[in-house]
Structure 1
């Protein structure tokens, strides 16, 4: 399946397979491409991952995230390849994988390559404790930790970011195998990296300038 659009919209994919998104323009003030695979028990029952997805030659003019995974991904998300895309103005994050201890499922083999962007809060972020308003509204009936393995970022440039990468795994099942290579940032305003509960994190050729406080 292929998608070609030149309108203001958001693509949300859930339990989809063998999908191509190309030559799209996003200007809608939320996440641009969001990969999902169901929530909790319903998704575990269906057991249908979202997989084999290519996103290429797309532009996000205004939005929250260029590529988002989750947080509804209990059926699993794997084999996603985004390349040759741009976010020239501003986003919150270029690549954001989000889940929580109720979701289960997996996130594996996700690639982002050859991306150019303006300013943002995070270039790459993984957060395993995203519950939003449901944290207090709905109790946790069953713990089910998400398996996260194989996140790859290569050849990314941006003008400014608060942080390059921020990995916040769950101690019960740490994030595994993250590679960040050839990332160039004009200015980092807060910190370069934060790594909690993550194993085999490889960084190579990350170039940045730290913010200079005015005297």
Structure 2
């Protein structure tokens, strides 16, 4: 059932990039610093540029608390945070210039992420220091829902969705200043050979780590603690050969959400997220521990999830979110050896009525989901599946599992082809 051969084949293809060991010290580029929230982004970016221009190496940010605007990574550069480094990012939107980006699966021109790279190779963010986005409900997070109940971003979200629907050229999808589409913390777009290790990330404007159309990615030993709205921990989007391991997630939304573009944009590019391995991670807070979608129009396949520990305030363990506007095929999902102390709602939640629901002509497909060796101590219910006409949910296998503390009967509404196989599995209320 669990395709160990395929998993090992994927692991063999994922490699840690190598870097020149020459060190470039940011402190040598700081002309003056009075510990009064001085902006050292010029020093960081100048150090990165010199490192890049001289064949690459390690850019060292010193111990201490520093303030910065956006950082742009370059090829062959390892951005290294020392143990006592706290790098705080300004929350003033005027410090964030516009770049080509994806915002929730749709291409546009919008604020740069706090750390950004485009079309680079061999890039890393390492060290045990802390990246602090300083987001809270007095700045970035208020754009989602401010203290007066205003949803400032709603008009821009609708405008961007309409641009996607009407195939408006990217050059005309301009947001940024005087608009309210929050930046991601780290977005690495069209990059190859990415290594993110050991860092701590807190208080992001929205999504934390967002590789897009990238390949050969290792994210390991990180800690994310960011409980704001849309604060997903890690969002590989249209990426190939990804390893996420030994990491801890306290998030305000999904801990890990795998995506592949939204609607027309996703179908036009038509590049799935595939060959992704998630192992030995701990998830403690968020909507879903692992979510596929809802931006999945390019498809998702060959996902391996194993040896994870789930506890705390998570709503669900594994979710698939899709609808008839987005569509896309999700297949070959392997889940093995998961220990869950407590989840508030569902172990497996497939929701094809998400957002726009059945109002389109694109078929959501979920096929071949293999689940084995699961131990759940407390769970409201195991399955919550809502499909729509012309959609497909097929070949779900549940083997050698134990579910305890169940409260509700299953909710399963599946149209067309489906096949749920339950083997050597116990359900205890």
Aligned match for 1:115, one of 317, 321, 338: 338
TM value normalised by structure 2: 0.46
1:172 aligns with 390
2:191 aligns with none
1:205 aligns with 424
| Structure with higher helix content | 2
More relative contact order, 1 or 2 (CA 8 Å, 6+ apart):
1
Matches within 5 A, 1:99-114: 99-114=322-337
Following the alignment from structure 2 to structure 1, what is the Cα–Cα distance between the partners of residues 313 and 400? Answer: 20
- Provide the aligned length of Structure 1 versus Structure 2: 204
Note the residue ranges of structure 2 that are not aligned, 5 or more in a row: 1-216, 226-232
Following the alignment from structure 2 to structure 1, what is the Cα–Cα distance between the partners of residues 361 and 379? Answer: 34
1:188 aligns with 406
2:187 aligns with none
Q: What's the CA shift string for 1:115-139, capped at 9, x where partnerless?
A: 01122211111111100xx67xxx9
1:39 aligns with 262
Contact 2:285 2:313 in 1 (8 A): yes
Moved more, 168-177 or 72-81: 168-177
Contact 2:385 2:413 in 1 (8 A): yes
Following the alignment from structure 1 to structure 2, what is the Cα–Cα distance between the partners of residues 195 and 41? Answer: 28
Following the alignment from structure 1 to structure 2, what is the Cα–Cα distance between the partners of residues 75 and 170? Answer: 19
Note the residue ranges of structure 1 that are not aligned, 5 or more in a row: 211-215
Aligned match for 2:380, one of 151, 155, 162: 162
Following the alignment from structure 2 to structure 1, what is the Cα–Cα distance between the partners of residues 383 and 424? Answer: 14
2:364 aligns with 146
Q: What's the CA shift string for 1:107-156, capped at 9, x where partnerless?
A: 1111111001122211111111100xx67xxx95x421112211121111
Aligned match for 1:24, one of 239, 247, 252: 247
| Structure with higher strand content | 1
Q: What's the CA shift string for 1:61-118, capped at 9, x where partnerless?
A: 2222111000100000000000000112231111101100101211111111100112
Q: How far is the alpha carbon of 1:166 from its aligned partner? A: 2.0
Q: In structure 2, the residue corresponding to 1:41 is in which secondary structure?
A: helix
Contact 2:324 2:362 in 1 (8 A): yes
Contact 1:160 1:189 in 2 (8 A): no
Q: How far is the alpha carbon of 1:193 from its aligned partner? A: 5.3
Question: Higher Cα Rg: structure 1 or 2?
Answer: 2
Following the alignment from structure 1 to structure 2, what is the Cα–Cα distance between the partners of residues 125 and 28? Answer: 19
TM value normalised by structure 1: 0.89
Moved more, 34-43 or 1-10: 1-10
